[in-house]
Every structure is written in structure tokens, then in C-alpha cells.
Structure 1
């Protein structure tokens, strides 16, 4: 399998792990010194332990399964470095009540270490309205 196919598989593994609320496959694909900028607090995270804690909190917040769909996946590979950029749709029912139904922009910076692709940088964002400063979570692709 070439680098692009391997990174597409990494993203597919991510979808399956989120849908199953299973943080283990996500952690297995993260570099020990991963840096994250996720849409959930805190502003950034560093290292597997912090990321696993945030992931468990995210999964635990849902009363339902988490709907997680990726689209518009673009993969670029050069040697042992690769990038995956995509949109993902996340949906579900929160334990505190309310529904989540939003699209998020994501980029994964990956590096092949000992023959295995690992995520070294995970960046997510949502657009915001410059006039109000509020996140625009109801946009659709």
C-alpha cells in the first residue's frame, strides 16, 4: 500500500473509532508528542495523555452514538511526511440534552515512524462571523 492509501486508511480508522466511542485506536495513531488544536477546550493539547483525556470527555458527553462522517478528503504525501485535510460532520445527542449537528474543518499532519503513519499535528476549526465573533456551526458544505 502506498503512503496516500495508508493515510486514507488512517482517516477511516478514525471514523470507525469515533463512531464506536473507542479512544484506543485513536491513541494508537498518535505520536507521543502530538500537538492538537481541537474545537473543544482547551485551546491546545500536547502529548497522548492530554489527548486521550479530552477524547474520553468528548465521548462521555454523548448519550447517543456519535455520528461522524468525513468528506472532501485530500491527502498529500512526500516521503515520510503527509497531510490529510477534510471536512467532518459530527452529530448526536448530549447527556445534558440538546443535539449536536455541525461541520468541522480538519487537518492532520502525519509522519511515518518505523513504517507506521502517526499523527503529529491535529488541527480543527469552525468558521466565525467577523461582525459578531460567534462560531458559525450551522454551515453546510
Structure 2
């Protein structure tokens, strides 16, 4: 058996043991001075074989609820005395996204002719939540509230410090924007509709930017305007902090 094959066999045996909850086999072939960077804390890693041992009972308990721990891919590079491997694994419970894979890097050294694990690094990629569904739902609600002339509901997602560049002027503060919206709703006794189809939304953390072509219908006439809107997430809710509406110059 080549060194690469030996390392691969060691890791495959370890994965099988983790899935089976076989603690003795999980600990086998690990150095006393092992350092592991795990998914949960501590930030500076789990240090030493005893501390490593203590991390597993809780994981095994979680796994007994039906979770899996299985290799998706494994790459091994081995020298004469040092080796490393990186792998992707399915580490998930029933109902979890199968595309979300655990990342694993393992460092090994040969001690007395035997490959020994000296370092493990486990992690999941950070999940960046897109603001698009929430912003699109907000736009749909704006459309519904416009049709029913529900001014209070229209103002709900507006930040107190909003700055709005409207078609007819610039307005600062929620109260000023409320006056503009109230005047618009009162300007036509007939049906007024607002549609914001296919907006583009880009987000990062608690900020989101959306741009779209808005369609407004009043007295049977439809107008379109260009719109750029900036939202800030506050207390879990997205609030409009800036909008810029315009028509192209004729």
C-alpha cells in the first residue's frame, strides 16, 4: 500500500467511525497534541486529544436523530513523512439542504512508521441570505396597499430618516414622504395601481439596493418611471432609507 493509499484508508475509516458513533475508532490514529478547528467554538481551536474526545458525545447525540456523515470527495497528497488531505462531506440532518457540504482539511505526519492525524479543520461556508424575496414581497405589498389606499401600511417600511428624490422634488424624513403619498392617493378618485415587475435586488448584510421600472395607473392612464431604492435592515425588517424616481429627459 502506498502512503497515499494508507492516508486515504485512514480517513475513510475515520468517516465511517464518525457516522457509526464509534468513539474509539474516531480517536485512533490521532496525535496527543492534535489541534482541531471545528465548526463550533472555541475560536482558537480544540487542543489535545482529551479535548478532542470531549467534542464527540454531543455530535453523536445529534447524529442519532437521523443525521448523515458521508464522504462526497477526498483528495490526498502524501510525502514520505508529511501528508495532507481535503474533503467535502455530507453532514446534515433530514430536511437539510443536500448542497451544503462540510469542508474538511486534515494534516498528518508519520510517527514510528504510522500515519497520525495532527490537525483537523472543519467548516461550513457562510450562508449569505439574499434580500430579494423580502424586498420583492415588500413591493407586492406596496401594490396591494396602493390599490386599497392604505396610507399607514404604505408608510410601514419607510425609515424615519428616509431621503426621497421624487419626480417633483426632494423630500427628507418619513413625514414629508407621507404627505407626498397622501397627495398622490387623493389626486384621483378612481383606481390607482402600482406595479414593480421584475426588480433587480443586490444585498450584502443589512443593506440592499433595488432598481426597477415602476408602472403606475391612474384614471386608466399608465405611466412608467425609473426607480432606485436603498433599504436597511433594522430589527429584522427592511426599511427604505433612500429612493430616486425619474423620467428620462425628453
TM-score normalized with structure 1 length = 0.81
CA distance in 2, matches of 1:59, 1:41: 17
- The residue number in structure 2 matching 1:29 is 29
- The residue number in structure 1 matching 2:90 is 89
Within-5 A mapping of 1:102-113: 102-113=100-111
Indicate if the aligned counterparts of 2:16 and 2:70 stay in contact, CA closer than 8 A: no
SS in 2 for 1:59: helix
RCO higher in structure (CA 8 A, sep ≥6) = 1
- The residue number in structure 1 matching 2:6 is 6
- The residue number in structure 2 matching 1:119 is 117
Q: 1:91 to 1:126 in 2, by over 3 A?
A: closer
Q: 1:132 to 1:124 in 2, by over 3 A?
A: farther
Larger Rg: 2
CA distance in 1, matches of 2:205, 2:56: 29
Indicate if the aligned counterparts of 1:19 and 1:65 stay in contact, CA closer than 8 A: no
Deviation string 1:13-72 (CA, Å, 9 cap, x unpaired) is 112101111111111121100000011232210001111100122112333344111122
How many residue pairs align between the two structures? 128
CA distance in 1, matches of 2:69, 2:86: 15
Q: Following superposition, which runs of at least 4 residues in structure 1 exceed 6 angstroms of deviation?
A: none
Structure 2 unaligned spans of 5+:
130-203, 207-250
TM-score normalized with structure 2 length = 0.47
1:54 is the counterpart of 2:127: no
CA distance in 2, matches of 1:3, 1:41: 33
